[in-house]
Structure 1
Amino acid sequence: MSDPKSTSPDEFESFRSYLHILAETQLHARLKSKVDASDIVQQTMLQAYQAREQFRGTTEAEKAAWLRTILGNVLSGLARGFSRKRRDLSREQSIQAVEKSSLQLTNLLSADTSSPSSAMHRHERADQLAKAMLRLTAEQRQAIMLKYWQGATLAEIGQQLDKSTEAVAGLLFRGMQKLRSVIEKT
C-alpha cells in the first residue's frame, strides 16, 4: 500500500502563495498579457503532483527547491512557446532567476542562519510574506517587486506602470504599510 502523504495533492498546497510571488517576479512583461501567474503556479503544482515519486528530499526546504526547479521549467516552456526566436537567452536564465527571486524573498525576512529550525522558520516567514503580497493591489505588488526584487528606480517603475514618480512613491509607501500590517497580524 502506498504512503498517503505521497499521493496527497495537499502536500504542495502550502507552497502556493510562495510560488505565486516567484512566478509574478519572473513572468516577462510581454507574457503577462497572455498568461497569469496563477496559471503558472497551477501548472507547476500539477507537474509536481504528477512527478511526486521523483522527489527524493525529506525537508520542506528541499521540497521548496524542487518546486522552484519545476516553476523555472514551466516558465522556460512558456517563454519557448511564445518566442519565435531559435535561441532566447531569457529562456536559459529562467531557473536561475527563480532561485534569485526566492533568495531575495527570503532575505527580506531573515538573518543568515543555517539550523534546520531556522530554515523552517525562514520558509514560514517567506510563506507569510507571499500571502501578504497577494493581499496588495496588483499595482502595489508590481511596484514593490520592481523596487525590491529588481532594484528599479522610481522613474523606471513609473515608466513601466505609466505613473508619475510621486504616484509610484505612494504605491510603494501604501504597499509597504499594508505588508507590515498584515505580517504583524499573523
Structure 2
Amino acid sequence: MSPKNHDQTANHLDQYRDYLALLGRLQLEPVLQAKVDVSGVVQSTMLEACESGWGSLKDHDKLPWLRRIFSNNLLDEIRKFRTEARDVRRERPLSHRIDQSASRLQVWIESNGPSPSEMAVRAEDELTLAKTLATLPDPQSEAIELHHLRGLPLEEVGRRMQRTKGAVAALIFRGTARLRQIMQPNQGEPNE
C-alpha cells in the first residue's frame, strides 16, 4: 500500500475510534478496566485493519469485520491479565458480547423517540452516538454506558459510581438530553 493510500485508509478508519473504545469499555468489568488499555487495543486494531485490506471490503462488511478484529485484539489483551489457562468456551462469548453491545447501542438509538436513526443509516448512527458520547462529561457518559448500554439497573449504577439512584437518574437525563441536542441540532425548529 502506498503511503498516500495508507494515510487515506487511516483517516477513514479514525471515524471508528470512539465506537470501538465504547464497545471495549462495555465489555470490561471494573477490575479489568484499570488494567486493560482500551485505547491501545483500538490503536492496534486500526493498524491491523489498515494493513489487512480495509479498502477492498464492501461498505456493509467493514463494521462487522472491524468489530471482529477488535474483539480478537481485546481478547488477547484480557488474556494477559488472566492466570487461568486458555478456555475457548470463554473466548467465543466475547465476540458475541461485542456484537450484542453493538445491537444494544442500535436499540437504544431507536428507542429514544425521534432519533438520529431516522436521518442516517444504522452504522453511521452508532458511530455518531459513540463519538458524541465521548464528548459528554465523564459521569454522564459513564452513567449512560452502564445503564442503557450495559443494561444495569439504576441501583447498581449508583453503587458502582458511588452516587445515589436519584443522582444517577439525573446524570442520565442530562446526558441523554445533551446527546439529543448535539445529534439533532435542528429538532423542534419550524420547517421553512
Q: Give the TM-score of the pair, scaled to structure 2.
A: 0.80
Instruction: Measure how far apart 1:52 and its partner are.
Output: 2.5
Instruction: Measure how far apart 1:110 and its partner are.
Output: 4.3
Counterparts of residues 28-177 of structure 1 (less than 5 Å): 28-52=29-53, 57-59=57-59, 61-87=60-86, 90-110=90-110, 121-177=121-177
Counterpart AA for 1:24: R
How much is the aligned-residue C-alpha RMSD, in angstroms?
2.6
Q: How has the CA–CA distance of structure 1 residues 6 and 36 changed in structure 2, closer, same or farther, with 3 Å as cutoff? A: closer
Identity of aligned residues (%): 31
Alignment partners' CA distance in 2, 1:170 and 1:133: 16
Q: Secondary structure at the match of 1:163?
A: coil
Alignment partners' CA distance in 1, 2:80 and 2:102: 24
Q: Secondary structure at the match of 2:109?
A: coil
Name stretches of at least 5 consecutive residues in structure 1 with no aligned partner. 112-117
Q: Deviations over 1:8-42 (max 9, x none)?
A: 32231222222122122112321211234322211
Name stretches of at least 5 consecutive residues in structure 2 with no aligned partner. 112-117, 187-192
Checking the alignment, whether the CA contact within 8 Å between 1:110 and 1:122 is kept in structure 2 is no
99-108 or 8-17, larger mean C-alpha shift: 8-17
Q: How has the CA–CA distance of structure 1 residues 154 and 110 changed in structure 2, closer, same or farther, with 3 Å as cutoff? A: closer
Q: How many residues align?
A: 177
Q: Deviations over 1:44-74 (max 9, x none)?
A: 1112123227x76312x31101000011101
Counterpart in 2 of 1:18? 19
Counterpart AA for 1:166: G
Checking the alignment, whether the CA contact within 8 Å between 2:36 and 2:78 is kept in structure 1 is no
121-130 or 5-14, larger mean C-alpha shift: 5-14
Q: Secondary structure at the match of 2:147?
A: helix
Checking the alignment, whether the CA contact within 8 Å between 2:22 and 2:130 is kept in structure 1 is yes
Checking the alignment, whether the CA contact within 8 Å between 2:26 and 2:149 is kept in structure 1 is yes
Q: Give the TM-score of the pair, scaled to structure 1.
A: 0.82
Q: Secondary structure at the match of 1:185?
A: coil
Counterpart in 1 of 2:189? none
Alignment partners' CA distance in 1, 2:45 and 2:135: 22
Counterpart AA for 1:157: V
Alignment partners' CA distance in 2, 1:91 and 1:178: 36
